[in-house]
Amino acid sequence: MSLKIAPALLRLLEGLRQENGLQGQSVIFNFRDPDYSADKGGFHPVEIMVEADGSLVYVTDFTFVGQGDFAELTTELNWDFRCGEYEQLWYGANLPLHVGAEVFAIWQKNFLDYHAMKVYQIEVTAA
């Protein structure tokens, strides 16, 4: 079972790739809320890699674990399309990708809404 990828997500990523003159190349997208911190919260950082052909390689959503000086940014959600694996902090790693299908559908909607709210600073680099 493969995960359903929202056409709006693919359009967003392809548009960013074109804006940065990287069409036809593998690209890593970093979405960051500059105000996100362990103490204040905010919108989780997200990293997405796309192959030159436009297919997703991975989607990773990060979160802080711990507080104050002991807070550490770590992976909370990860969908690795190349390996067919899903990981969720507190739930497990190396799970079959389909286990994360429902969470991925919710994540995509939220991510696209946050992007529309312009909460992210975006960095696009060739992989």
pLDDT of residue 93: 87
- What CATH number does residue 54 fall under? 3.10.450.430
Is residue 1 assigned to a domain?
A: no
The amino acid present at 58, given as its one-letter code, is Y
Degrees, nearest 5: CA angle 49-54-58 = 25
15 C-beta neighbours (distance < 10 Å), count: 10
User: What predicted TM-score, i.e. pTM, was given to this entire model?
Assistant: 0.95
In 3D space, the residue among 88, 41, 94, 30 whose CA is nearest the CA of residue 64 turns out to be 41
| Residues whose CB falls within 8 Å of the CB of residue 53, separated by 6 or more in sequence, listed in order | none
Local confidence band at 2 (pLDDT 50, 70, 90 cut-offs):
confident
Give me the number of domains the chain comprises.
1
pLDDT of residue 103: 97
Write the pLDDT tens digit of every residue in 11-33.
999 999 999 999 999 999 999 99
What is the domain range of residue 46? 7-126
For 110, what's the count of Cα atoms within 13 Å in the CB-facing half-sphere? 11
